[in-house]
Amino acid sequence: MSDKEIKVRDREALLFHSSGRPGKIEITASKPLTTQRDLSLAYSPGVAVPCLEIAKNPATAYDYTSKGNIVAVISNGTAVLGLGNLGALASKPVMEGKAVLFKRFADVDGFDLEVSTEDVDEFVNCVRFLGASFGGINLEDIKAPECFIIEQRLREIMDIPVFHDDQHGTAIIAASGLINACDLTGRKLKDIKLVINGAGAAAIACSELVKSMGVSPDNVIMCDSRGVIYKGREDGMNQWKSAHAADTDARTLEEAMNGADAFFGLSVKGAVTPKMVQSMAKQPIIFAMANPDPEISPEEVAEIRDDAICATGRSDYPNQINNVLGFPYIFRGALDVQASTINEEMKIAAAHAVASLAREDVPDEVAAAYSGRRLQYGPEYIIPAPFDPRLIIAVPKAVAQAAMDSGVARRPIIDMDEYENQLRGRLDPTAAHLQLISDYVRAHPKRIAFAEGEEETVIRAAVAYRNSGYGTPILIGREDRIHESAKKLGIESLDGVEISNAALSKHNTEYAEFLYGRLQRKGYLWRDCQRMVNQKRNVFASVMVAKGHADGLITGLTRNFNRSFTDVAGVIDAKPGEIPMGLSIAITKGRTVFIADTRVHNLPNAEELAEIAIQAAEKARQLGHEPRVAMVSHSTFGNPYSADTDRIREAVGILERSNVDFEFDGDMAVDVALDTSLLKLYPFCRLSGPANVLVMPALHAATTASKLLDKLGGGTVVGPVMIGLEKPAQIAQMGSTVNDLVNLAALAAHEAEHG
């Protein structure tokens, strides 16, 4: 599935940014601010104490404020993405997005600042006085050559890291790819002949970094739109280009490419011709990084050379040069040692760390997501996948160590093993694994039936499912009504979306016979089954899945769970040895908690509670968590005793006898289950840490808890996800959003592949 096929419609993007609280970021307090005492400590008079401490010793600002985890994302909007000079205000959505990436990948708090000036002096003077507020400065989307001047001057006058990601982020990831490409082709960096097409910020940063890593300056030829940048050239030159002028007779890109070992493209689509590729050395290394379309596509290269190693900036080809592999983790390492700058040693360390990661065995979860490709170190895997969970450990450690070794770390790390544990705990694995599921579904697209296909929200979700590259959505409903609603919604085309009218389907009789075979001994006549297939879309969609005409289904938007589940369960059986259940996934700051059963069992008995625990633990493990299961109750280990908790204690006994491979205990109150300090009061408890799977004693407790978290918890609740059915069927909550439906549809598609 190519980037062009994974489409984001204008309306869809605007709705995403405007729905709920406008924008993508907000500020939340990290300390309780409930009582007057809280406020007195947070502000006056308590706040005076850390103020005085910082005045005496400025370094303590990292202890008493959030300075050490905040990066300013700053732009003047003169080079916004590939859109040109849009101005500071129009750059704000991008800067907010960059802040989101910092948080998502490295738990760094990004704070976006848009500076409304194109004057270099004004910009520098604005930013230089903000150093007391931040632990680092990430410059973004500033056009060349001003970006060079701005970064250089700010680095000279500020005592915190200043990093222009458009330059150095691309350079670091490209350099990591070059390290491995040279390794695979038996080359040494000092010997390669490299041609760079493009002379903007990223190209010059690439040239500077690879030279500092050992590539001979005499072997690097840079070209711009006027041709080779050679010594003595006067046309279109500036001081930054002049620094990379080559002593060569070549005057065109075609001449420069003759015999070249490697090519870095940071220019425009079509800049490289087949003839140029043919003229390169054996096993050429071609990084065509122009976006959205490369200088030459890997398919075009493959037609000419079967010995080439290719990389691009696109996700639909192997070896994506993606900045997100670098900047979040580089700042993470720099912040953690309170580095005064990000120097060449730190950049080189980051490049080697990324390169080394590609040579290691790929984790199962990453390999599964990209199983359409061969994720094994080699020509098509020289750069790690962007969502590899090991990046949060490998890159910050390397950067922090380099900062210490080069003398720019003001707070060195004493215990690197402990630091690794801290990094591992920075990010909850759930988000990464959900992304891996999405990537896996794109590689294995599925047909998902949307049972309530005439609803506007469902139509939008189906189109989003199609645009995301997950597969083919099937809307169950009347074609005229669906097209009319789509037109009203401004949806230009339903190409790639199937529509199936239950009453007019060619499979109507086949479906009715299937249903009659299941229900004839449960009081249903043939005509009852035929009517159900014709008129009940949940039933029709369920039979469609049961017969293999769809891979999974989603419903529930307009009907309560019980009605929807009854329809689905009448067609789709439970998996052998399992029970249908609902699992809500609550993702909050710093942790994910799985809550079960939030769907099916009103008052589960001991056997059902034990099975719920086993299935919930398995799903938690699939999503990257080592399960610690708490059998939740109003009491804790029998205090206060109640006969109502006997079944909970019996369930614990069943788990003991079953020799399950996860931690569990109970009965226990939910606060004890989630609080380390309270758990210490019970040294006999089997849990080694706070529970991450809560098996609730009854349906009313489970649903109340999950819905409270959804509305008040300040996090995200995914699901409830239906598990335990023989075929994938997800039942959304009434009033679900488009995003909710798409997420559940992707989970259904993933389950269809994995079973």
CA–centroid distance for 135 within its chain:
24
Q: Looking at residue 665, what DSSP letter applies?
A: E
Mapped onto helix, strand or coil, the DSSP state of residue 657 is helix
Whether the Cβ atoms of residue 724 and residue 581 lie closer than 8 Å to each other: yes
**Are 742 and 464 within 8 A, CB to CB?**
yes
Q: β-pairing, 729-731 with 581-588?
A: unpaired
Helix residue ranges, H only, 337-428: 344-359, 364-369, 391-405, 416-426
At 77, is the secondary structure helix, strand, or coil?
Answer: coil
Report CA-CA distances (Å) from 243 to 201, 207, 221, 401: 13, 10, 12, 30
CA distances from 340 to 139, 158, 208, 326, 407 (A): 16, 8, 21, 19, 9
Cα–Cα nearest to 166, from 126, 120, 205 = 205
Count Cβ atoms within 10 A of the Cβ of residue 688 and give its class: 0-12 exposed, 13-18 middle, 19 or more buried.
Answer: exposed
Structure tokens at 642: 């109640």
Whether the CA torsion 161, 163, 169, 171 is positive or negative: it is negative
Q: Which helix (H) or strand (E) holds 592?
A: strand 591-596
142: CB partners within 8 A, 6+ apart? 75, 76, 78, 79, 150, 164, 166
- The residues near 242 (Cβ < 8 Å, ≥ 6 apart) are 229
Annotated catalytic residue within 67, 98, 347, 446: 98
Angle between the N-to-C axes of helices 537-546 and 561-569, in degrees from 0 to 180, rounded to the nearest 10: 40
Q: What share of the chain is helix, strand, coil (3-state, %, to 5)?
A: 45, 15, 40
Helices (H), 602-737: 606-622, 646-658, 670-674, 676-679, 699-712
285-288 and 309-312 beta bridge pairing: parallel
What pairs with residue 471 in β-bridges?
Answer: 446
- Among 489, 481, 502, 503, which Cα is nearest to 461's? 489
State the DSSP code for 559: S
Q: How far is CA 60 from CA 70, 93, 227, 419, 635, in A?
A: 15, 33, 53, 20, 44
- What CA–CA distance (Å, rounded) separates 715 from 589? 7
98 is catalytic: yes
Chain centre distance of CA 55:
40
Cβ distance 75 to 94 under 8 Å? yes
Residue 660 backbone class (left: φ over 0; alpha: ψ -120 to 50; beta: rest): beta
Identify whether the C-beta of residue 276 lies closer than 8 Å to the C-beta of residue 253. yes
Cα-Cα end-to-end distance for the chain:
23
Residues that are catalytic? 98
